[in-house]
Amino acid sequence: MKKFLFSAGTRETAASAGLLILRLGMGTLIAIHGLGKVKGWGETAKTWKSPDFIPVSWMSPPVSLGALVFAELVCGILLVIGLLTRPAAAILAFAMGVAAFYRHANDPWMMGSGAAKEPALLYLIFALALLAAGAGRFSADAAIHKEKRRWGGR
């Protein structure tokens, strides 16, 4: 389990380049989204409701909002760096699942005018891809968790 959570996944160059693009794009966009919540904290906190399922229902609305801001801002930055990529992606996947199916439960599936499930679902899909694949060769995870060479010179 430890190896899965903290390894960089593939070290193949082309796949790692694709994962780098995915991490940089998703991490940057979700971090900017979280930064917007920090800047608009006062207004957002006035209308924020905690989801009504365990364990999130145990949180007060400000704590729930803080957890979401942590997920978006901090985990987004971790994705950009490629540090603790799988745990960060797991936290973001959970947060985006809650966003899509609780916060936007009554919104349409696709973007039109106003809020929709689509952005949260896209982030959820990207987070699940990173959770499965890892950060790739071009990441802090790969620099920290060097794999031992196998027989055969690979």
Per-residue pLDDT, 149: 52
Per-residue pLDDT, 106: 82
Q: Which residue has the higher pLDDT, 70 or 55?
A: 70
Per-residue pLDDT, 57: 82
Contact 19, 69 (CB under 8 A): no
Per-residue pLDDT, 153: 47
Least confidently predicted of 74-83, 114-123, 143-152: 143-152
Kindly state the average pLDDT of the residues 113-136: 92
SS3 content of the chain, % helix, strand, coil (to 5): 65, 0, 30
Q: Compute the half-sphere exposure of residue 56: CA atoms within 13 Å on the CB side of its CA.
A: 20
Separation between Cα atoms, residue 84 and residue 89, nearest integer Å: 9
Tell whether the model's pLDDT for residue 113 goes beyond 80. Answer: no
Tell whether the model's pLDDT for residue 110 goes beyond 70. Answer: yes
Query: Would you put residue 22 in left (φ > 0), alpha (ψ -120 to 50) or beta?
Result: alpha
Per-residue pLDDT, 78: 98
Q: Which residue has the higher pLDDT, 126 or 150?
A: 126
Kindly state the average pLDDT of the residues 26-50: 93
